């Protein structure tokens, strides 16, 4: 994997943090208070850490990701958000130097246990990246690709239409399914990538800064789509955009990067605070969270 691909970028015209903090509170108004105890966990992270070539990038991550919720991972660049996200569908397996420790439980099964097939894992836990990355194929074939590789049975036309409908793209592309996906706008390409992830029948979608290459209108469409999708799926999103986290997510994990006590030189990411999004943005427990969400530090 290209590490560049995981570097966050601030989209042009995106609000600066200080402005973001001011306008976040209204978007939370009227949000029902989250009640963690009653909710089903899709993922249970227990002491999860990842190192690259022996150097810890993120450590001691323990929290639950709840079903039919949007969970946001926020924090400064390099604190391990993408690394942690990749643990959730075993994408770090593809990075030869990466080692995952601790336990990632998915519907109470150890995701890294013996007998778990990473291909099946990625079928059930889809991923959408920062830059839209459609295949250089037709719109139809982009969606059909995963199901065909996986040997999924059923009516392919129906499957393609269903995925495009769920990604709010069908009406825009139904008359040009055979055209190359590269002819679509950036926002359409990103919704195509979401449709492609939906086509294999997942129950979780992981998104790594899915809007950072998009304009505000395309971003708003993806955010609306995420809110629609959470009725059926659970979503974990890494975002650099605080307003986005506040607008769409139910729970937020704030990560920071600190000097490692043991070595004194190694910088390692960890979770400072994990709480309902409203709490993180209006009344966090930790002063580091407050400094970050109010834009005092970045």
Ligand X SMILES: Nc1ncnc2c1ncn2[C@@H]1O[C@H](COP(=O)(O)OP(=O)(O)O)[C@@H](O)[C@H]1O
x/- contact string, 258-277, with ligand X (CB under 6 A)?
-----------x--------
Indicate the residue among 82 and 200 with the shorter CB distance to ligand X: 82
From residue 208, give the alpha-carbon distance in Å to each of 20, 114, 150, 190.
Answer: 20, 27, 24, 12
294 part of the interface to ligand X, by CB under 6 A: no
78 part of the interface to ligand X, by CB under 6 A: yes
Indicate the residue among 58 and 139 with the shorter CB distance to ligand X: 58
Of 40-48, 73-81, 153-161, 275-283, the segment contacting ligand X by CB under 6 A is 73-81
Sign (positive/negative) of CA torsion 75, 76, 79, 84? positive
57 part of the interface to ligand X, by CB under 6 A: yes
Indicate the residue among 235 and 253 with the shorter CB distance to ligand X: 253
83 part of the interface to ligand X, by CB under 6 A: yes
Indicate the residue among 221 and 240 with the shorter CB distance to ligand X: 240
Two tokens at 60?
A: 């001691």
Distance between CA atoms of residues 166 and 182, nearest Å: 21
In the Cβ-directed half-sphere of 72, how many Cα atoms lie within 13 Å?
Answer: 28
**Closest residue to Mg ion, based on beta-carbon distance:** 82
Task: Answer with the entry of ligand X, Mg ion, none that 256 interacts with (C-beta below 5 to 8 A by kind).
Answer: none
Task: Answer with the entry of Mg ion, ligand X, none that 52 interacts with (C-beta below 5 to 8 A by kind).
Answer: ligand X
Of 16-24, 75-83, 111-119, 166-174, the segment contacting Mg ion by CB under 5 A is 75-83
122 part of the interface to ligand X, by CB under 6 A: no
Task: Answer with the entry of Mg ion, ligand X, none that 26 interacts with (C-beta below 5 to 8 A by kind).
Answer: none
Q: Out of 51, 71, 82, 239, point to the residue binding Mg ion (CB under 5 A).
A: 82
252 part of the interface to ligand X, by CB under 6 A: no
289 part of the interface to Mg ion, by CB under 5 A: no
Q: Can you give the chain as a three-state secondary structure string?
A: CCHHHHCCCCCCCCCCHHHHHHHHHHHHCCCCCCCHHHCCEEEEEEEEEEEECCEEEEEEEEEEEECCCEEEEECCCCCCHHHHHHHCCCHHHHCCCEEEEEEEEECCEECCCCCCCHHHHHHHEEEECCCCCCCCCEHHHHHHHHHHHCCCCCCHHHHHHHHHHHCCCHHHHCCCCCCEHHHCCHHHHHHHHHHHHHCCCCCEEEEECCCCCCCHHHHHHHHHHHHHHCCCCEEEEECCCHHHHHHHCCEEEEEEEEECCCCCCCEEEEEEEEEEHHHHHHCCCCHHHHHHHCCCCC
Q: Out of 15, 80, 146, 202, point to the residue binding ligand X (CB under 6 A).
A: 80
Indicate the residue among 82 and 188 with the shorter CB distance to Mg ion: 82
Of 17-25, 71-79, 122-130, 171-179, the segment contacting ligand X by CB under 6 A is 71-79
**Least distance from ligand X to the Cβ atom of residue 209, Å:** 8
Chain residues that interact with Mg ion, rule: CB under 5 A:
6, 82
Chain residues that interact with ligand X, rule: CB under 6 A:
1, 3, 6, 8, 52, 57, 77-83, 95, 97, 269
């Amino acid at each position: 994997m290209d590490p560049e691909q995981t570097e966050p970028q601030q989209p042009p015209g995106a609000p600066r943090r200080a402005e973001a903090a001011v306008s976040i509170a209204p978007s939370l108004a009227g949000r029902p208070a989250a009640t963690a105890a009653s909710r089903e966990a899709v993922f249970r992270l227990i002491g999860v850490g990842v190192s690259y070539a022996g150097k810890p990038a993120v450590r001691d991550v323990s929290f639950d990701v709840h079903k039919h919720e949007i969970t946001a991972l926020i924090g400064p660049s390099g604190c391990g958000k993408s690394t942690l996200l990749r643990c959730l569908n075993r994408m770090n397996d593809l990075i030869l130097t990466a080692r995952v420790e601790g336990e990632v439980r998915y519907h109470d099964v150890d995701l890294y246990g013996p007998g778990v097939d990473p291909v099946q894992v990625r079928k059930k836990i889809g991923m959408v990246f920062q830059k839209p990355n459609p295949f250089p194929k037709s719109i139809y074939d982009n969606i059909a690709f995963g199901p065909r590789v996986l040997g999924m049975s059923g009516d392919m036309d129906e499957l393609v239409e269903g995925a495009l409908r769920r990604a709010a793209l069908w009406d825009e592309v139904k008359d040009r399914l055979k055209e190359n996906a590269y002819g679509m706008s950036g926002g359409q390409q990103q919704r195509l990538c979401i449709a492609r992830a939906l086509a294999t029948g997942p129950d979780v979608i992981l998104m790594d800064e899915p809007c950072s290459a998009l304009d505000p209108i395309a971003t708003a469409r993806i955010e609306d789509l995420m809110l629609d999708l959470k009725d059926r799926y659970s979503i974990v999103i890494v975002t650099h955009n605080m307003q986005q986290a506040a607008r769409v997510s139910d729970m937020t994990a704030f990560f920071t990067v600190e000097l490692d006590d043991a070595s004194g030189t190694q910088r390692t990411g960890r979770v400072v605070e994990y709480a309902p999004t409203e709490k993180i943005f209006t009344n966090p427990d930790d002063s580091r969270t407050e400094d970050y969400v109010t834009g005092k530090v970045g």
